[in-house]
Structure 1
């Protein structure tokens, strides 16, 4: 036991001087890992005197972002023929011709029944039609018009057809010229010239002058306006005046203002192409025409309560 205790004591005495070394005096620099890269010194921009710097001599080109290169336009063909460079002019010709045919001066047929109505009034009830349409493009059109009226159980009082060449002279306005043929009474053929279109404030106007084969000159002016109350309900005031340069006794027309019509129609647009309506219209014969009407036993003032439809396709 003494031997074992002495051995342990000797060993502890030998280790103690090594563990008791002062590490503060040791040089650890040899054991430090080398830095990967020396850091740049931090620049304090607040202490830089910019007044003493000559910015004009500095090269800023390296700090500017690169500009994208603009594609060179094809000055010979332009965008409308840009596909030719890829597919070839011959391959693109059918598509280009189809584009012109479908979107350039496309020919359109349009027909509208503006007034197609039953008229309840004192005495014999009557009827009236007023239809028109055209075929053509944006500039040139062929217009046709027809209107007439009468009383049930009696011959048609007035009926006419018009065939007109129409040319656009302003946005939404056409100049029209052609012929008008009367189909009732002492039949007459008229040369017609007029204008039709949409004037400011959305009034639709149709004005024409007529020269008959008998030398009579008459003028007709119509105007109407659509006042939308709701998306489907539309109120339409309408006015028409007819004038004559001379008396035409065989037609019951006096010089000056022949007759005046004022109407108000309320229509319900079930679909844009079809709209039934109800309304009222007042007619007056004036001047010499009033005298002719009285001589014929007719009332120069007539009130019509109307029921009809307006349609187009």
Structure 2
């Protein structure tokens, strides 16, 4: 009987456990069903109600509607139609205007301290140099340059001096005429004239070949001339010419100058010239070796590129045997000169 009682109690306990487990399963299933119903209600479309007149502002309409006229709801079903709608374009007008402004107004180059101050002097038009819009690539051009026509007041008296250069030709080959000299006391003291053919061997240098004829006191002399002229580094104008004459005579003339611009019109030009001879000529008052040097400064003001008055100062010196000849003749070896003149070209 005791065994039967134990068996009955075990059956009752087992049934109670089964009942509890069944109840838990039922509760879990009920909760799952309720949760699914709640989710389906949340995702169901809201009932459409007509808004009151004036209740929706223009900003709300823009926020609730896509530019293509479709709803902007994040869970809209028609995803393909949303993808088919083109994306709105970005307004690049302001950026384009900024870029255009940057192109129209490039950055200014750094200021270079060595450039002269501007005084309103604009570059001359091409027509001032004989260049027109309709002309061949290698035209026939010409130029006349009166580099100096000046009054000279020196230690030994006053005189008038000139220096002229003229050329005609094309870009590569030109015919040159060069002459210079001085007149004092109503007579020509010294001078020379040259007729040269110039050939450009580089953009800045010409080879010169021709003849020279001496003028002034003493017998006339004729020379064959061979030299170069052009623009050396650091903007130095340079002329160097070797002369050969009969009876073994030879000579060398070197001249260099540079322009220093205080403004676009006010220009200071220093110039150095030297003359040397391979053989002396007492009748022309020079000896062999370095004969003389001249250093001058001319300050000019260019009212135009073609017309510029100037004032200046020059220092001249005779050397060696030429200086001894000057002393014997009673002429000064060193001379200090004040200059005033004009510079013209056309």
What range describes the TM-score normalised by the shorter chain of this pair? 0.5 to 0.7
- Counterparts of 1:280 and 1:104 in 2: how far apart (Å)? 42
What does residue range 123-138 of structure 1 map to in structure 2 within 5 Å? 123-138=156-171
What does residue range 153-164 of structure 1 map to in structure 2 within 5 Å? 153-164=185-196
- The match for 2:336 is 303
Which of 171, 175, 181 is matched with 2:213 structurally?
181
- Counterparts of 1:291 and 1:128 in 2: how far apart (Å)? 25
Which of 213, 219, 240 is matched with 1:207 structurally?
240
TM-score by length of 1: 0.68
- The match for 2:98 is none
- The match for 2:224 is 191
Instruction: Give the deviation of 1:131 after TM superposition.
Output: 0.4
Query: What SS does the aligned partner of 2:292 have?
Result: strand
Instruction: Give the deviation of 1:213 after TM superposition.
Output: 2.8
- The match for 1:240 is 273
What does residue range 47-196 of structure 1 map to in structure 2 within 5 Å? 102-151=135-184, 153-184=185-216, 185-196=218-229
Q: For the aligned residues, what is the CA RMSD?
A: 2.5
Which of 266, 269, 285 is matched with 2:299 structurally?
266
| CA deviations over 1:66-85 (Å, ceiling 9, x no partner) | xxxxxxxxxxxxxxxxxxxx
Give 5+ residue unaligned stretches, structure 1: 1-36, 46-98
Equivalent pair of 2:270/2:296 in contact (CA under 8 Å): yes
TM-score by length of 2: 0.61
Equivalent pair of 2:156/2:332 in contact (CA under 8 Å): no
- Counterparts of 1:201 and 1:103 in 2: how far apart (Å)? 32
- The match for 2:260 is 227
Instruction: Give the deviation of 1:182 after TM superposition.
Output: 1.3
| CA deviations over 1:129-175 (Å, ceiling 9, x no partner) | 00001101110000000111121x24211121110010001112100
Equivalent pair of 2:248/2:279 in contact (CA under 8 Å): no
Query: What SS does the aligned partner of 2:239 have?
Result: strand
Cα distance change of structure 1 residues 41 and 285 upon mapping to structure 2, 3 Å threshold: same
| CA deviations over 1:268-311 (Å, ceiling 9, x no partner) | 01101010000000000001100111111101111110001111
Query: What SS does the aligned partner of 2:79 have?
Result: coil
Q: Which one has a bigger Cα radius of gyration?
A: 2
| CA deviations over 1:175-231 (Å, ceiling 9, x no partner) | 000001112221011000100111111110111011123331000000111000011
Query: What SS does the aligned partner of 1:178 have?
Result: strand
Instruction: Give the deviation of 1:42 after TM superposition.
Output: 4.9
Cα distance change of structure 1 residues 150 and 214 upon mapping to structure 2, 3 Å threshold: farther
- The match for 1:216 is 249
- Counterparts of 2:324 and 2:286 in 1: how far apart (Å)? 9
- Counterparts of 2:215 and 2:296 in 1: how far apart (Å)? 25
Give 5+ residue unaligned stretches, structure 2: 1-69, 71-75, 84-131
Query: What SS does the aligned partner of 1:177 have?
Result: strand
Equivalent pair of 2:148/2:341 in contact (CA under 8 Å): yes
- Counterparts of 2:192 and 2:246 in 1: how far apart (Å)? 15
Which aligned segments of 4 or more residues in structure 1 are displaced greater than 6 angstroms? none
**Greater mean deviation of Cα atoms: 241-250 or 125-134:** 241-250
How many aligned residue pairs are there? 225
Cα distance change of structure 1 residues 40 and 107 upon mapping to structure 2, 3 Å threshold: farther
